[in-house]
Structure 1
Amino acid sequence: MRDAAFATHEKLNRYYAVHARIYDATRWTFLLGRNEILDVAARELSAIHEPRILEAGCGTGRNLQTLGRRMPRASLTGVDVCAPMLARASKRLGGLGLCRAGVTAKLARRPYDAPLEPGSHDLVLFSYALSMFNPGFEQALDAAYADLRPGGLLAVVDFHDTALDGFRAWMRANHVRMEGHLLPELEARFAPRRVSVRPAWFGVWRYALFVGEKK
């Protein structure tokens, strides 16, 4: 399992060595629902003075930056296996004045296959990440459960499925699994508070939003 995961991480690093530079400029066209899940997370955490937020598969830091601006005393942690993406996240979080508003941010290059600080986070976020953890999405969910405090929230937006075999194969070639496999695992581990599956691009695929509470 570890050898397979290592091989996957190396493939992703090679892939994002090219794509990291154009990621934010291009992915908005099909990474649907990201702003909505961030809106939901910000509302859910509005009563917490200094929320602790962890994003697994944080990529370029776009989501963490948005949450930091909306919650000026948040503690942000981003985890990713891809060095090119983390380099962009570091520039984004370190160079845009978040710290002057009281936000703290730290990044770590590592797989999210074990908890970082068990029982300490108010929110763990996966934004179009779990469908790329192949193998490893089950371990990531277990790590998130451990890292959340009692009553803490898991927020997920991700690809769900497609009826088109050719599109599914093309996405698999780009490291994405689209087989409707995530929601059953999410609902088995967390008490659902918000679940939605929606069509994208005239039904070519569907994406899912999930917010659940640590049981």
Structure 2
Amino acid sequence: MFAKIEHGRLMDRVYRHQRHFYDATRKYYLLGRDPMLAGLNPPERGSVLEIGCGTGRNLVLAGRAYPKTSLYGIDISNEMLATARKKIAASGLGDRAVLAYADAAKFEPEAILGRREFDRIFISYAVSMIPQWQAVMREAVNHLTPGGTLHVVDFGDLRDLPGFARRGLYKWLAWYHVTPRNDLFEVADEIARTTDAEVETHRLYRGFAWISVLRRRP
């Protein structure tokens, strides 16, 4: 409980002011988000959950792309949730969206969101900020419908970028409590083996962004 509260307070401190200009700045380097959203392809009246929904930017785009889906989002920052609620209401999607405060590593979606499983779950540039990110991915797979998919997009290993660019970006990200998960694909493989899921991976932009997709078997 202590770790959960402290991480939530840290995220509130980080984003208390940043949330007002977050989307305007992040579009230049949070690459891969839109290809990830395009690959969701939920059932026509399916359910979509974002873990670490932040400002609500991704949920709004998902709601527009998939107009008959039900939208759900959780975040550990009340500051970000306040912005997300305003953004979703302004977009006209409020009647299709449910947001809640939660620790993604262990939460009860039926209690806070009104449903136990989701057709699609996605995590966009959040595993690099969640200390127990592996547990979060495992927990997410447990809340997929049969045949449902978990989509994770985040920073990659930057392997094909010049060394100075890689070192500079890692140092800059550390200032914002961001730690790229260079073992993301290996962890996804291990989760797939232990949860009877299938996995696919994508490297984008010379390794700047990675997308991992875990599909629960029907």
TM-score by length of structure 2 reads 0.84
From 169, 184, 187, the equivalent of 1:185 is 187
- CA 1:186–1:173 in 2, change beyond 3 Å: closer, same or farther? same
Shift in CA distance, 38/91, structure 1 to aligned 2, threshold 3 Å: same
Measure, in 2, the Cα distance between the counterparts of 1:165 and 1:173. Answer: 13
Report the CA distance between 1:96 and its aligned residue: 2.1
Corresponding position of 1:112: 104
- Shift in Å, 1:98: 2.3
SS in 1 for 2:39: helix
1:198 paired residue number:
204
Cα deviation for residue 107 of structure 1 reads 0.5
Structure 2 equivalent of residue 68 of structure 1 = 63
Contact 1:192–1:213 (8 Å) recurs in 2? yes
In the TM superposition, residue 3 of structure 1 has moved relative to its aligned partner by 3.2
Post-superposition Cα deviations, 1:108-142, rounded to whole Å, max 9, x if no partner, equal 112111241475210010010111101x1122112
Aligned to 2:149: 153
Distance 1:167 1:61 in 2: 25
- 8 Å contact from structure 2 (residues 154, 180) kept in 1: no
Q: Structure 2: which amino acid aligns with 1:106?
A: V
Distance 1:137 1:5, change over 3 A: same
Equivalent-residue separation in structure 1 for 2:45 and 2:204 (angstroms): 33
Q: Say what the alpha-carbon RMSD is for the aligned residues.
A: 2.0
* Paired residue total: 202
Gaps of 5+ in 2: none
Q: Which has the higher strand share?
A: 1
Partner in structure 2 of residue 85 of structure 1: 80
Change (3 A) 1:18 1:37: same
Q: Deviations over 1:66-90 (max 9, x none)?
A: 1111222211110011122111110
Using the alignment, how far apart are the partners of 1:210 and 1:153 within structure 2? 10
- Report the secondary structure of 2:48's partner residue: strand
1:12 has 2:7 as partner? no
| TM-score normalised per structure 1 | 0.85
| Structure 1 stretch displaced more, 121-130 or 137-146 | 137-146
Q: Secondary structure at the match of 2:149?
A: strand
1-side partners of 2:29 and 2:154: how far apart?
10
**Aligned residue number for residue 23 of structure 1:** 22
| Matching residue's letter, 1:85 | M
Identity among equivalent positions (%) equals 32
For residues 187-206 of structure 1, give each alpha carbon's deviation from its aligned partner in whole angstroms, at most 9, with x where no partner exists: 22234454112346xxxx62
Letter in 1 for 2:102: R
